[in-house]
């Protein structure tokens, strides 16, 4: 959100119950770098820990960034504000989206925010107790986010969900320990490489996915 000075605008605090319009008003008037509105409740982010969030976030960004570089007409964002609905305005760690002209479900608003449900959202969470796997998961599911990845750093566990008939179903790794996106062909993830922070192996497996006929056909469809 843009930062500006304001007079007589209440501060934005965790636990506040606000409309999306009031949330945006207070957020824009604050110097807070990350806050989210989830099911009508405000969550202000704590300071970011280096090993528990900063480094895992960087690994996810390197993986998604490599896919984005190889896949024209797929949009990639780091910590964008997303207007999902009247009660939900999250700021996910990362996402991939497709333009609506070629089948995507979200748009870029006139004031430069994402509106609607991106196709893939990734969150780095502390643990399964975090709201990323509770209220936020429900908000993403209800609004039609097709794939949702959560990396729980304390347990070092990865969950990858796909939306089927209004429910999130876990995607299961194959015999090689690889999960393949159903929405973004060629987006392959080695779960062990991610958990071990083995960046070279992570990107090598992704490169396998990028060389498939499915990925090439996806590029052609988007073009």
Give the model confidence (pLDDT) of 187-216 as tens digits. 999 999 999 999 999 999 999 999 999 999
Phi, psi of 93 (to 5 degrees): -60, -40
User: Which residues does 152 contact at the CB level (< 8 Å), separation at least 6?
Assistant: 125, 126, 127, 128, 130, 133, 158, 159
Closest CA to 216 of 82, 46, 70, 63: 70
Q: Do the domain assignments include residue 55?
A: yes
For residues 67-92, average pLDDT: 96
Distances (CA, A) of 7 to 11, 25, 27, 30, 31: 11, 12, 13, 11, 14
pLDDT digits (tens, 9 = 90+) for 144-154: 999 999 999 99
> Could you say which DSSP state residue 37 is in?
E
In the numeric block, which tokens belong to residue 160?
């990858």
Q: Do the domain assignments include residue 30?
A: no
Is-above-0.75 flag for pTM?
A: yes
Q: Do the domain assignments include residue 29?
A: no
In the numeric block, which tokens belong to residue 120?
């893939």
Q: Do the domain assignments include residue 2?
A: no
Predicted pLDDT at 8: 81
Q: Do the domain assignments include residue 172?
A: yes
Q: Do the domain assignments include residue 13?
A: no
Range of 121's domain?
Answer: 48-222
HSE-up (13 A, CA, CB side) for residue 173: 14
Q: Do the domain assignments include residue 15?
A: no
Helix (H) and strand (E) counts for the chain? 6, 13
Domain count of the chain? 1
Confidence of residue 95 (pLDDT cuts 50, 70, 90): very high
| CATH number, domain containing residue 188 | 3.90.1570.10
> Could you say which DSSP state residue 2 is in?
-
Phi-psi region of 185 (alpha: psi -120 to 50; beta: other; left: phi over 0): beta
Distance CA 182, CA 20 (A): 32
In the numeric block, which tokens belong to residue 142?
């209800």
Neighbours of 212 (CB within 10 A): 14
Q: Do the domain assignments include residue 67?
A: yes
Specify whether the CB–CB gap between 178 and 148 falls below 8 A: no
Confidence of residue 52 (pLDDT cuts 50, 70, 90): confident
Distances (CA, A) of 22 to 9, 29, 41, 103, 124: 10, 11, 12, 32, 27
Confidence of residue 57 (pLDDT cuts 50, 70, 90): very high
């Amino acid at each position: 959100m843009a930062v500006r000075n304001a007079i007589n605008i209440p501060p934005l605090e965790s636990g506040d119950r606000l409309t999306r319009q009031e949330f945006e008003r207070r957020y824009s008037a604050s110097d807070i770098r990350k806050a989210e509105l989830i099911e009508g409740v405000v969550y202000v982010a704590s300071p970011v820990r280096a090993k528990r969030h900063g480094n895992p976030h960087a690994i996810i960004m390197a993986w998604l960034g490599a896919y984005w570089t190889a896949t024209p007409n797929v949009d990639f964002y780091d910590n964008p504000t997303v207007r999902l609905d009247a009660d939900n305005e999250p700021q996910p760690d990362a996402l991939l989206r497709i333009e609506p002209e070629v089948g995507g479900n979200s748009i870029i608003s006139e004031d430069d925010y994402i509106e609607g449900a991106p196709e893939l959202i990734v969150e780095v969470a502390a643990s399964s107790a975090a709201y990323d796997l509770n209220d936020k998961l429900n908000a993403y599911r209800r609004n039609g986010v097709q794939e949702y990845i959560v990396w729980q750093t304390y347990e070092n566990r990865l969950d990858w969900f796909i939306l089927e008939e209004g429910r999130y179903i876990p995607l299961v790794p194959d015999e090689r320990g690889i999960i393949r996106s159903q929405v973004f062909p060629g987006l392959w993830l080695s779960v062990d490489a991610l958990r071990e922070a083995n960046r070279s192996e992570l990107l090598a497996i992704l490169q396998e996915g990028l060389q498939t006929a499915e990925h090439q056909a996806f590029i052609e469809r988007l073009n």
